[in-house]
Structure 1
Amino acid sequence: MNSVSVITGGAGGMGLATAKIVGKERPIVLCDVRRDRLDTAAATLAELGVSVTAVHCDVTDRPAVTALFDTASALGSIASVIHTAGVSPSMGTADYVMRTNAIGTLNVNEVFFDVAGEGAAIVNVASMAAYLLPDEFVPAKGFPQALVDADAFLADMLAACAIAPEEARSGLAYAISKNFVRWYSAAQSERFNGRGLRIVSMSPGSTDTEMGRLEEQAGAGALVTDAAVPRWGTAEEMAELLAFCASARAGYLTGTDILNDGGVVASMRERARLAAETN
């Protein structure tokens, strides 16, 4: 039986770049909530010789995610899922950001867990922002609630965002939701391994995509300037790492997050350490 890879957020810069790499090895099931851009992305892949099936899907809708995996399973065994679907603070309200990034991740991963066979891997896209939010603002004790009552979890996460002024809540929701992605990808690794599955997350830094550039004036541009590698990352650089993490070559890699941020977090921490020594 053939094997397939599912890529969510496939119409985005990072998702499409990853599909171009993974599509050299196996058929791709490309998913996105934006139907017109999904069709364009699928046409681009087809022109490159990739066998691609486009599925219009909102990852916040669990039945729609189940249908996505039904389509993939009908084409072959699921080898990997690269979950790039997500939104940034400039794209909507705190509720929209939290629902898309956290509930969307929960839905995709839980359905993957239910249907994937031994040896399959899922890679979730978190964010550098998860490393920059102080621990006291991360409601980590409420994260396990997602596995029991997703609605209560969402309400608790939004309550945690309410400490910020209205204009800052989407940004806080983004950082909290990406902390959740990192937590889930680590906390569920033993459960996933019980079914022979791997689960990993990758935290990109400021990336030169349409979504990434939306945040340029909201702080991402300054972070790029102060990075150890003072430039924007490319979608292709992120895609190479995502594809590797999902491949059999990374068969020992699970339950961890890989920070791919051009040294932003490392530089900030070292500057903070030096500043503390001089005060």
Structure 2
Amino acid sequence: MTDVVVVTGAGGMGVAVARRIGSGRAVILADAFAEPLSQATGALRAEGYAAEGIVTDIADPVAVTALATAAAGAGRIAAVVHTAGVSAATATVQQILEVDLVGTAHVIDAFLPFVSPGTSVVCIASMAGHQARADNSALATVPADELLSVAGVGDDPIAAYILAKRANQLRVQAAALAYNRRGARINTVSPGVVSTAMARAEADSPSGEHMLAMLDACGIGRTATPAEIAEVVAFLTGPGSLYITGTDILIDGGQAAWLRWHQ
């Protein structure tokens, strides 16, 4: 049976992940926008990948369920890597909550019935989730269609983004038992600043100067490359991480440590 890799998000991180773990497998790339999805899928095919694009709005539970169903129909789901999302610099509070918060819950829920022993799911959260000042346990367990009612972040996009990414981490922790019972694993990866189009847009935003100054202050002095994130995803979806589930891996060049101990 064909092994299938599903990657949501046709941006720099998603394409890097598809390249890293998609060789010899059927790659299903999903994105809300048809044009970048077509470009990314075409580029992967030109490089020899068996890639297919499916337009999917992860904020829509019906669309996400259709994606999961299509993936299961193509073979055994070996990995699901959820990179799709929006940023505080370019999206409204409502968009952040619908895509980054509720959309991630849809992915976790929709793929659960289709995973099998050996399947690994990785959701991209963010270093921002580690900056949340308090945990709201309801974010981990309430049904996806009730998440917006417990968010409560007002009109601050940064607060919405922090809450959404912390919720991603918590929700994956809570989902680990159900995935374990099906022989599958689920984890989050929390990047810092990665050199993608989204990060460049953030760098040009009012908070961009502070974001870039943090990279120097923490000592790393550079952004991460998408390939560095893909390498960690490859570990979490590979045979060397079979005992790792329900946890988060922070890849931020030491920014969170600097914020906690040296700021």
> TM-score scaled to structure 1, two decimals?
0.89
More helix by share: 1
State how far apart, in whole Å, the 2-side matches of 1:241 and 1:77 are: 22
Distance change in 2, residues 1:145/1:268 (3 Å) = closer
How many Å apart are 1:118 and its aligned residue? 1.8
User: Aligned partner of 2:79: which letter?
Assistant: S
1:202-213 equivalences under 5 Å are 202-213=189-200
More divergent stretch after superposition (261-270 vs 211-220): 211-220
2:122 corresponds to: 123
Q: Does 1:63 align with 2:68?
A: no
Task: Show CA shifts across 1:68-126 (max 9, x none).
Answer: 12221221110010000111012221111011011111111111111112221100001
- The count of residues paired between Structure 1 and Structure 2 equals 259
1:143 corresponds to: 139
User: Aligned partner of 2:178: which letter?
Assistant: R
- Secondary structure of 2:89's counterpart equals helix
User: Aligned partner of 1:161: which letter?
Assistant: V
2:72 corresponds to: 73
1:8 corresponds to: 8
How many Å apart are 1:145 and its aligned residue? 4.9
- Secondary structure of 1:238's counterpart equals helix
Q: Does 1:153 align with 2:147?
A: yes
RMSD: 1.4
User: Aligned partner of 1:2: which letter?
Assistant: T
Q: Which runs of 5+ in 2 are unaligned?
A: none
Q: Which runs of 5+ in 1 are unaligned?
A: 273-279
Question: Residue 123 of structure 1 contacts residue 200 of structure 1 at CA under 8 Å; is this kept in 2?
Answer: yes
2:243 corresponds to: 252
Question: Residue 5 of structure 1 contacts residue 80 of structure 1 at CA under 8 Å; is this kept in 2?
Answer: yes
User: Aligned partner of 1:224: which letter?
Assistant: L
Work out which of the two has the higher radius of gyration on C-alpha atoms and give 1 or 2: 1
Q: Does 1:231 align with 2:230?
A: no
User: Aligned partner of 1:207: which letter?
Assistant: V
1:182-221 equivalences under 5 Å are 182-216=169-203, 217=205, 218=207, 219-221=210-212
1:109 corresponds to: 108
Q: Which runs of 4+ in 1 moved over 4 A?
A: none
Question: Residue 80 of structure 1 contacts residue 247 of structure 1 at CA under 8 Å; is this kept in 2?
Answer: no
Q: Does 1:267 align with 2:254?
A: no
2:133 corresponds to: 134
Identical pairs, percent:
34
State how far apart, in whole Å, the 2-side matches of 1:192 and 1:228 are: 38
1:46 corresponds to: 45
- Secondary structure of 1:212's counterpart equals helix
2:166 corresponds to: 179
> TM-score scaled to structure 2, two decimals?
0.94
State how far apart, in whole Å, the 2-side matches of 1:230 and 1:262 are: 9
How many Å apart are 1:133 and its aligned residue? 2.8
Question: Residue 145 of structure 1 contacts residue 152 of structure 1 at CA under 8 Å; is this kept in 2?
Answer: no
State how far apart, in whole Å, the 1-side matches of 2:104 and 2:227 are: 22
- Secondary structure of 2:86's counterpart equals coil
More divergent stretch after superposition (172-181 vs 68-77): 68-77
User: Aligned partner of 1:12: which letter?
Assistant: G
State how far apart, in whole Å, the 1-side matches of 2:69 and 2:43 are: 24
